[in-house]
């Protein structure tokens, strides 16, 4: 019975934070997929500037 109540609380919390969890997962995957493009853009903007010290970030 204690495990059942804990499970009910977990399900209630999951349903309560459902949209927040989905939003953070979506943001996380978007960050993973867009990080190479952001690095390319940062590399291009840094390469146009004379100071190119932080281009070794992979």
Q: Which 8-state DSSP code applies to residue 49?
A: S
User: Between residues 37 and 47, which one has the greater pLDDT?
Assistant: 37
**Concatenated DSSP letters of the chain:** -HHHHHHHHHHHHHHHTHHHHHHHHHHHHHHHHHHHHHHHHHHHHHHHSS--SSTT--
Position 7 confidence tier, pLDDT thresholds 50, 70, 90: very high
Asked if the model's pLDDT at residue 36 lies above 70, the reply is: yes
What b/e string do you get for 2-17 counting C-beta neighbours within 10 Å, with b at 16 or more? eeeeeeeeeeeeeeee
The domain locations on the chain are 21-48
Is pTM beyond 0.75? Reply is no
């Amino acid at each position: 019975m204690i495990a059942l109540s804990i499970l009910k609380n977990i399900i209630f919390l999951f349903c309560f934070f459902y949209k927040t969890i989905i939003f953070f997962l979506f943001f996380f995957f978007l960050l993973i997929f867009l990080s190479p493009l952001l690095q390319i853009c940062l590399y291009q903007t840094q390469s146009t500037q004379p100071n190119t010290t932080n281009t070794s970030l992979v």
